[in-house]
Amino acid sequence: MSGAPVPLTLFRFVRFPLTHVDFMTDATATMAFDAALAQRMKVLRKLRLNDMFFAALTRAAAYFVLLLLGAVFISLIFGGREAAMKFGLGFLSSQSWNPVTENFGGLAPIYGTIVTSFIAMLIAVPVGLGIAIFLTETCPPVLRRPIGTAVELLAGIPSIIYGIWGLFVFAPFLQRTLQPTLIDAFANIPVLNTLFAGPPYGIGMLTASFILAIMVLPFITAVARDVFDTVPPMLKEAAYGVGCTRWEVVSSIVVPYTRVGIIGGVMLALGRALGETMAVTFVIGNAHKIAPSLFAPGTTISATIANEFTEAVGDVYTSSLILLGLILFVITFIVLALARLLLYRLEKQGGTK
Amino acid sequence: MRTTLITFARGALAAAAVAGSVSLALAADISGAGASFPYPIYTKWADAYKKETNIGLNYQSIGSGGGIKQIQAKTVTFGASDAPLKGEQLEKDGLIQFPMVMGGVVPVVNLDGIAPGALILDGDTLAKIFLGTITKWDDAAIAKLNPGTKLPSQAIAVVRRSDGSGTTAVFTNYLAEVNGDFKTKVGTSTAVEWPVGIGAKGNEGVANNVQQTKGSIGYVEYAYAKQNKLAHTRMINKAGKTVDPSLASFSAAAGNAEWAKVPGFAIVLTNQPGDGSWPITAATFILMHKKAQDAEASKTALKFFDWAYKNGGKAAEDLDYVPMPKNVVELVEAEWKKILGADGKPVM
């Protein structure tokens, strides 16, 4: 190393030895310089090693997720293969679920999963965004803290508590009030009278959707509030300055500016709604039937698995339940892929505007 | 640093010592898994037995299906199932089976103005309700059985189990016995495809749903109906007599059964003859391997069961279970001679 020409770029790193050697003779200066450089290189090498180690560690962590996901996917396919082979694609279109004759079809739980999640999002997205807008735009500062904390606390309540509350408080309440009212009100209106047909059990698809909506609300609100806070005040002030109303500021400045974040929050909530198990099991009625009425009992994929897996006797039964799990996995994957696609198109649009 | 190391080493030693003693204690415990219906009485017996003998019971209440799987896989000394296995299945798996304790299943209702025991049903009507062919409480079939009772013109909300369960096996066994339609359309199993109704998980789930839903009918183990003060129905039994669910009527059903004739005591006590018999009664069963994996463990388990037959009657009745009649116990204990150790001799 000594005597070799030092690359120019390295001089930038060796400023501090120079201040000490500027009064020395040339020869000693070069020697001291080389020693310092060697020292420096050693430190740098060590840092680089550290860095490589750190990078490898994080990479391993990331790959581990892929590995785990792959393992889950493969074991679901492996576990569900018997049912898949026996019923084929008919599993997706049959709503028979008969443990006695071992004839299984997944249509009822698939339908229930999608419909309850959809209705839940229909309720939770506007309400959740409304709360977030109120908190960031119009809320008096005194209230901001308590309401924000209350929403976050909602997210911390275990799902079984929602289920118990749903069964003991919410379902009887709906059975006494909302359901008879709706049944009577829509009795003579086509479509709506099949959608809201009796008898009012209290529990059923609609009740499950309501509980789901309450459960995913904090996810939407928390994410939306955080992204709304990132809107530069300058943009909003400018809009207010040219005479925009609050509604105009929110609808044409805040929401467009943060739409990517909002969609992220909504997808997070949808993911939770699709997979939610305990609370739904309590209030959905667990019936393997597709009924046109939203008051009728139904079931979801995760509720079916939670209910029946422990006592499932026979290979075909167990295998059918695992196959349902695989279908839920695929549904979630499709939903996430669609969300990505939506984001991608929004970004492209934003670029051309 | 040094001191921490020493402390750590000490801690590890202590932990190892504790772990050692725990595994020793576990080795002496009886291991079993299965049905959740008898779980309360098994644990109560186990507590009392442990006080006497210092031998504990490690019973996993994972459900009958799980109990059968675990005994087949030989991970436990005994399995427990509410629905008895058939003779040929026992033969195939090399198992013996015997009834441990009995209980009854009762229909429960939630109707305004109907007190517990006020409503009378017979098997055929009950089956039609659970088939969905009778949909209103003021149906002629129900009214005929209950002259003088004012029945509301309300839709019947059927509540049944959503999970597989021995209770369902017993209940569907009864309905299939008394109604041909039910037998062909629904059948008998721990889980069936119900034509109507709301599914709820566990006896407690059904009990809660019935309590919450006006106009509902469900079925639960007698103990749940009693403890939750649900309005049970009376039933008309095979002899045509109206009976109340009680320990006496459950015992009456057991007394008339011919246990000795059926391999593995595989009798479901539904629709039994006798004036006082409750029609939906059943025993819960224990499964053990004929060739004991660990003769000592099997012997310990059998000793516990023997103790429970002899001393557990009072505890069982306190929890609304029915102890096995003496003549059945004698038959069972004779059957135990078939459990052989590695040396080919009976373990007990």
Q: How many helices (H) and strands (E) does chain B have?
A: 14, 13
Q: What is the mean pLDDT of residues B273-286?
A: 91
Q: What is the mean pLDDT of residues A93-119?
A: 92
At residue B30 the predicted structure's pLDDT band, cuts being 50, 70 and 90, is: very high
Does the domain at B104-256 match CATH 3.40.190.10? Answer given as yes
- Residue A24 predicted with pLDDT over 70: no
Superfamily of domain B4-103+282-336 in CATH is Periplasmic binding protein-like II (3.40.190.10)
Give me the long-range contacts of B252-255 (CB less than 8 A, separation at least 24).
B252/B276, B252/B277, B252/B278, B253/B104, B253/B277, B253/B278, B253/B279, B253/B281, B254/B102, B254/B281, B254/B283, B254/B322, B254/B324, B254/B325, B254/B328, B255/B325
Residues on chain B touching A287 (C-beta within 8 angstroms) = 194, 197-199
Which tokens go with A114? 């999608």
Average pLDDT, chain B: 87
CB distance A193 to A103 below 8 Å? no
- Sequence-distant (6+) residues with CB within 8 A of B192 are A98, A99, A100, B168, B172, B186
Range name among B12-21, B112-121, B321-330 with the lowest pLDDT average: B12-21
CB contact under 8 A, A287 and B194: yes
Nearest residue to A104 via CA among A76, A81, A84, A75:
A84
Distance of CA B10 to the CA centre of its chain: 48
Q: What is the mean pLDDT of residues B279-303?
A: 91
Range name among A172-176, A217-221, B255-259 with the lowest pLDDT average: B255-259
In the three-class reduction of DSSP (H, G, I as helix; E, B as strand; rest coil), residue A273 is classed as helix
* DSSP H or E segment with residue A75: helix A26-87
Residues of B (128-157) whose Cβ lies below 8 Å from A: 155, 157
Q: Measured between alpha carbons, how far is A204 from B100 in angstroms, rounded to an integer?
A: 39
The answer to whether B162 faces chain A, any CB pair under 8 Å, is: yes
pLDDT at A22: 52
pLDDT at B17: 45
Q: Measured between alpha carbons, how far is A151 from A139 in angstroms, rounded to an integer?
A: 14
CB contact under 8 A, B199 and A312: no
CA-nearest residue to A171 within chain B is: B212
CB contact under 8 A, A202 and B191: no
Regarding predicted confidence, which is higher, B261 or A58?
Answer: A58
Which tokens go with A320? 């059918």
Which tokens go with B187? 């059948």
Q: What is the mean pLDDT of residues A29-44?
A: 87
Which tokens go with B279? 């029609």
pLDDT at B266: 87
Which tokens go with A42? 């050693």
Q: Between A and B, how many CB-CB pairs are < 8 A?
A: 96
Which among A282, A287, A299 is the nearest to B197, CB-wise? A287
- Residue B143 predicted with pLDDT over 90: yes
Nearest residue to B199 via CA among A311, A127, A251:
A311
CB distance B266 to B91 below 8 Å? no
Residues on chain B touching A199 (C-beta within 8 angstroms) = 155, 157, 215
CB distance B153 to B138 below 8 Å? yes
The answer to whether B197 faces chain A, any CB pair under 8 Å, is: yes
CA-nearest residue to A318 within chain B is: B65
Average pLDDT, chain A: 87
Domain boundaries, chain B: 4-103+282-336, 104-256
Q: How far is B14 from chain A (nearest CA, A)?
A: 34
CB contact under 8 A, A308 and B193: no
* DSSP H or E segment with residue A104: strand A103-104
Which tokens go with B94? 């090399």
* Predicted confidence (pLDDT) per residue in A300-342, tens digit: 999 999 988 877 877 899 999 999 999 999 999 998 888 888 8
* DSSP H or E segment with residue A330: helix A315-352
pLDDT at B24: 43
Residues on chain B touching A96 (C-beta within 8 angstroms) = 193
Residues on chain B touching A308 (C-beta within 8 angstroms) = 162-164, 191
CB contact under 8 A, A311 and B212: no
- Residue B4 predicted with pLDDT over 50: no
Q: What is the mean pLDDT of residues B281-299?
A: 90
The answer to whether B198 faces chain A, any CB pair under 8 Å, is: yes
DSSP of B20-82, one letter per residue?
HHHHHHHHHSEEEEE-STTHHHHHHHHHHHHHHHS--EEEE---HHHHHHHHHTT-SSEEEES
Residue A270 CA: distances (Å) to CA of A84, A116, A283, B1, B269: 27, 11, 19, 51, 49
CB contact under 8 A, A99 and B66: no
| Domains within chain A, CATH numbers bracketed | 8-69 (no CATH), 88-349 (1.10.3720.10)
The answer to whether B110 faces chain A, any CB pair under 8 Å, is: no
Residues on chain A touching B212 (C-beta within 8 angstroms) = 167-168, 171-172, 175, 202-203
CB contact under 8 A, B199 and A172: no
Distance of CA A95 to the CA centre of its chain: 29
Which among A96, A203, A310 is the nearest to B163, CB-wise? A310
- Residue B12 predicted with pLDDT over 80: no
Q: For B264, left (φ over 0), alpha (ψ -120 to 50), or beta?
A: left
| Predicted structure pTM score | 0.79
Tally Cβ neighbours within 10 Å of residue B181. Answer: 14
For A232, list phi and psi in degrees, rounded to 5. -60, 130
CB contact under 8 A, A175 and B65: no
Range name among A23-32, B157-166, B268-277 with the lowest pLDDT average: A23-32
The answer to whether B228 faces chain A, any CB pair under 8 Å, is: no
In the three-class reduction of DSSP (H, G, I as helix; E, B as strand; rest coil), residue B246 is classed as coil
- Residue B284 predicted with pLDDT over 50: yes
CB distance A303 to A288 below 8 Å? no
CB distance A19 to A32 below 8 Å? no
CA-nearest residue to B194 within chain A is: A287
Q: Do domains B4-103+282-336 and B104-256 have the same CATH topology?
A: yes
| Mutual angle of helices A26-87 and A315-352, in 10-degree steps | 130
Nearest residue to A260 via CA among A337, A335, A342:
A342
Residues on chain A touching B201 (C-beta within 8 angstroms) = 281, 286, 306-307
- Residue A161 predicted with pLDDT over 80: yes
* Predicted confidence (pLDDT) per residue in A229-288, tens digit: 999 999 999 999 999 999 999 999 999 899 888 988 898 899 889 989 889 999 999 999
* Predicted confidence (pLDDT) per residue in A123-137, tens digit: 999 999 999 999 998
Q: How far is A199 from chain B (nearest CA, A)?
A: 7
Q: What is the mean pLDDT of residues A290-299?
A: 90
The answer to whether B167 faces chain A, any CB pair under 8 Å, is: no
At residue B219 the predicted structure's pLDDT band, cuts being 50, 70 and 90, is: very high
Q: Measured between alpha carbons, how far is A173 from B191 in angstroms, rounded to an integer?
A: 30
